[in-house]
Amino acid sequence: MTISDVMSMYVPDKFGNDEMGDYTDEVWAVIDQLPEETKNSVATGASKFVFSLNEKEVVKIPFDGMWQEVDWDEFDDEDEGDFSFTPYDNNYCEIETSVYADAVAAGVEMFFASTKYVGTSSNDKPIYVSEKVNNWYHGWKPTPSDGSVEKAEQTESELSTDWLAVAYEVYGDDLVNRLLDFISDEGIDDLHRGNLGVRQDGSPCILDYSGFDW
């Protein structure tokens, strides 16, 4: 699959999962357009739809909002459906590109999987491409020294101590401290382990750094 193939796809309006994280008809409509070998790579969170483009890159499409179940007994209109769509105020992929540009300027971009805007779908939905890295749970990681583990355990951060320990081991104190300052200055949150990753060479990085405001 090429980026031209992606940009020829149709992405429905009101594109998003439901409040439980389950795929909606709109999400399935995009999955159905993917090659069979690509469908297994699909991953979603609250803010983005992601799938593998090739060995080095993934495609990210921002969700427009979230479908939420509604108790229509509170209303008089019995013709309404079971779910209501609540739009987001933010394009979280766009936020990611902005944060990455700031990370480059601050000299801490090595801690982030790069994200860039590449164009639009056939119906003008924005498309982004990001560096492909392994989820923290599944990639090979170097074993940090006792000193790196101790430093991580003493660091006050939303980042998990095991990720931080490897970061100290691979990048050193100065760069990690600059990263922590950058995270604070940018107001980056939602840095749970599911948003952390590791490259093939064992260097840790952050997969999803747009935050989420709901």
Q: Is 90 exposed, middle or buried (0-12, 13-18, 19+ CB in 10 A)?
A: middle
Return d(Cα 201, Cα 193) in angstroms, integer.
19
- 133, 205 Cβ separation under 8 angstroms: yes
Q: What are the pLDDT digits (tens) for 114-153?
A: 999 999 999 999 999 999 999 998 888 999 999 999 999 9
Q: Strands (DSSP E) along 133-209, which ranges?
A: 134-135, 196-198, 204-206
Query: How many Cβ atoms sit within 10 Å of the Cβ of residue 105?
Result: 10
Return d(Cα 150, Cα 202) in angstroms, integer.
20
Helices (H), 25-137: 25-31, 36-39, 92-106
The pTM for the full model equals: 0.89
- 10, 33 Cβ separation under 8 angstroms: yes
Predicted pLDDT at 213: 77
Q: Taking Cα atoms as reference points, which of 26, 125, 61 lies closest to residue 51?
A: 61
- 3, 52 Cβ separation under 8 angstroms: no
Q: What are the pLDDT digits (tens) for 32-76?
A: 999 999 999 999 989 999 999 999 999 999 999 999 987 655 555
Predicted pLDDT at 79: 47
Q: What are the pLDDT digits (tens) for 64-83?
A: 999 998 765 555 555 455 78
Query: How many Cβ atoms sit within 10 Å of the Cβ of residue 129?
Result: 21
Mutual angle of helices 161-171 and 173-186, in 10-degree steps: 130
Predicted pLDDT at 4: 96
CA-based angle 13:212:99, to the nearest 5?
Answer: 100
